[in-house]
């Protein structure tokens, strides 16, 4: 056992972690532990690095060791929340985030993380309460970029459509990436079988349609598969491809669901970019 070498490896690992080179970070954290199993400071950062390389079982072991050293360390509690979020264990993630909030109720990031987790499990009211705390605690000029979009989605599911659209418009004005908004709206309205509503809502965001190829693809999918309008389906599919939609898996899956002349025409659209390469 050599404490000096352990600390040196720990510092190297932390430098790699800060540079987002998580594989090397994990290697050096492991070397540090081999030099000194009692290096208590290592467990939290080692656990976080293991999350990033998706070794969730070992990450949990390290984070629980950190928790055993100091059960009131909110960084550790939030890390356990993040671990379970990444592992899609959302209820467990929410439990750890709430434990962190019980110790420190003034950290907006923890409320933000909790709000995302609550949204994933479909508790939109609890999610919005968490997001409201973020707004209360966080300076207006330093809000998380996605907060308005997440809040808009909550309002949509809570039946506050008008408020949701206002929030989406505000999100559009601040964000250069709008694809997720169209996917949000598509999933919500198709999930309720309100297929005719999707084009109406997309039209509200017409200014963003031209630089969002996913929106055109979603309309193509809608017109082909739900609204029985292959003419508009083909038009929107053509626009989506022209605007740079390149999710080959989704495109091929759509074509497989079509039949006869519709399928042939759609396949020709998919083949054109390949012919130009």
CB 179 within 8 A of CB 215: yes
Sign of the alpha-carbon torsion through 250, 254, 256, 260: negative
CB 115 within 8 A of CB 150: yes
pLDDT in tens, 102-153: 999 999 999 999 999 999 999 999 999 999 999 999 988 888 889 999 999 9
For the whole model, what pTM was predicted?
0.84
Residue 83 predicted with pLDDT over 70:
yes
Confidence band, pLDDT 50/70/90 cuts, at residue 1: low
Residue 276 predicted with pLDDT over 60:
no
pLDDT in tens, 151-170: 999 999 999 999 999 998 88
Task: Give the relative orientation of helices 90-103 and 74-86 as an angle to the nearest 10 degrees.
Answer: 170
So what's the pLDDT on residue 134?
97
In whole angstroms, give the CA distance from residue 17 to residue 55: 15
Domains and CATH numbers, the chain: 1-70 (1.25.40.10), 88-174 (1.25.40.10), 176-277 (1.25.40)
Residue 21: helix, strand or coil by DSSP?
coil
Q: What is the dihedral of CA 141, 145, 151, 153, to 10 degrees?
A: 160
Sign of the alpha-carbon torsion through 153, 155, 161, 167: negative
């Amino acid at each position: 056992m050599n404490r000096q070498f352990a600390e040196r490896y720990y510092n190297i690992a932390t430098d790699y972690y800060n540079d987002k080179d998580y594989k090397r970070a994990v290697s050096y954290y492991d070397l540090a532990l081999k030099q000194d199993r009692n290096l208590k400071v290592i467990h939290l950062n080692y656990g976080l690095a293991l999350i990033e390389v998706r070794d969730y079982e070992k990450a949990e072991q390290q984070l629980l060791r950190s928790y055993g050293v100091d059960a009131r360390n909110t960084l550790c509690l939030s890390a356990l929340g993040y671990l379970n979020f990444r592992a899609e264990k959302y209820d467990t993630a929410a439990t750890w985030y709430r434990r962190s909030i019980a110790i420190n109720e003034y950290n907006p990031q923890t409320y933000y993380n909790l709000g995302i987790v609550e949204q994933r499990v479909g508790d939109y009211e609890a999610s919005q309460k968490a997001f409201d705390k973020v707004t209360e605690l966080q300076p207006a000029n330093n809000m998380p970029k996605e907060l308005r979009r997440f809040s808009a989605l909550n309002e949509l599911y809570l039946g506050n459509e008008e408020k949701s659209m206002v929030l989406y418009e505000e999100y559009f004005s601040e964000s250069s990436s709008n694809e997720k908004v169209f996917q949000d709206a598509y999933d919500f309205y198709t999930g309720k079988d309100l297929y005719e509503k999707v084009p109406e809502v997309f039209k509200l965001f017409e200014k963003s349609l031209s630089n969002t190829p996913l929106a055109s693809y979603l309309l193509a999918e809608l017109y082909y598969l739900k609204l029985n309008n292959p003419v508009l389906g083909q038009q929107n599919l053509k626009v989506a491809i022209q605007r740079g939609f390149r999710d080959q898996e989704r495109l091929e899956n759509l074509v497989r669901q079509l039949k006869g002349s519709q399928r042939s025409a759609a396949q020709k659209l998919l083949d054109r970019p390949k012919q130009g390469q």
